[in-house]
């Protein structure tokens, strides 16, 4: 144990940099997003320890303050910036909203088939107004909704 204490007294920068590397390695392994900020705080404390003659209690206090501050600021400001307009990145059907489609099977009773994005889909029309004509084969329509494997078109 005295070897570690002697190493810290001689090289506090490397001890904090090692702590940052351990936090970062665990973060890469888990992908939670929570240990990225303690890793950054440990690296910053290492730089401060390299430039300024500080003691261990001051470095631990600085590490705690930086960890709390960076975690709070990242959760407060970075998460909304990274959130995209689509609620689920892994749901490709949401990308169909607003795209043009071509009717490939005439609509009967509000149901038919359309071709959009290189695939043929089952489709239904929006609630039609009285006297509105159902889309015929070859007509261009627009996708306005997705419900499972059935597109809603207008």
Cα–Cα distances (Å) from 38 to 29, 30, 98, 114, 141, in that order, read: 15, 14, 43, 52, 52
Give domain limits for the chain.
Answer: 2-82, 92-153
CATH architecture assignment, domain 92-153: Beta Barrel (2.40)
Q: Which two tokens stand for residue 42?
A: 């440990």
**What is the number of other CB atoms lying within 10 angstroms of the CB of residue 112?**
23
Question: What pLDDT does 129 receive?
Answer: 47
In 3D, which of 130, 118, 129, 123 has the Cα closest to residue 144? 123
Angle at CA of residue 49, ends 45 and 53, nearest 5°: 140
Q: What is the pLDDT of residues 64-100, one digit of tens each?
A: 999 999 999 988 887 665 555 655 666 777 788 888 9
Question: What pLDDT does 82 receive?
Answer: 55
Q: What's the mean pLDDT in 4-8?
A: 76
Q: State the pTM of this model.
A: 0.51
């Amino acid at each position: 144990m005295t070897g570690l204490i002697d190493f810290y007294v001689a090289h506090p920068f490397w001890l904090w940099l090692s702590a940052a590397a351990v936090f970062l390695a665990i973060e890469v392994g888990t992908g939670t997003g929570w240990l990225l900020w303690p890793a950054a705080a440990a690296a910053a404390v290492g730089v401060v320890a390299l430039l300024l003659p500080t003691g261990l209690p001051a470095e631990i206090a600085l590490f705690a303050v930086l960890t709390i501050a960076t975690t709070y600021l990242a959760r407060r400001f970075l998460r909304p910036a990274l959130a995209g307009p689509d609620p689920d990145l892994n749901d490709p059907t949401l990308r169909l909203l607003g795209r043009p489609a071509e009717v490939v099977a005439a609509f009967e009773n509000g149901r038919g088939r359309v071709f959009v994005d290189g695939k043929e889909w089952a489709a239904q029309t929006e609630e039609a107004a009285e006297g509105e004509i159902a889309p015929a084969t070859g007509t261009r329509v627009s996708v306005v909704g997705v419900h499972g494997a059935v597109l809603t078109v207008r």
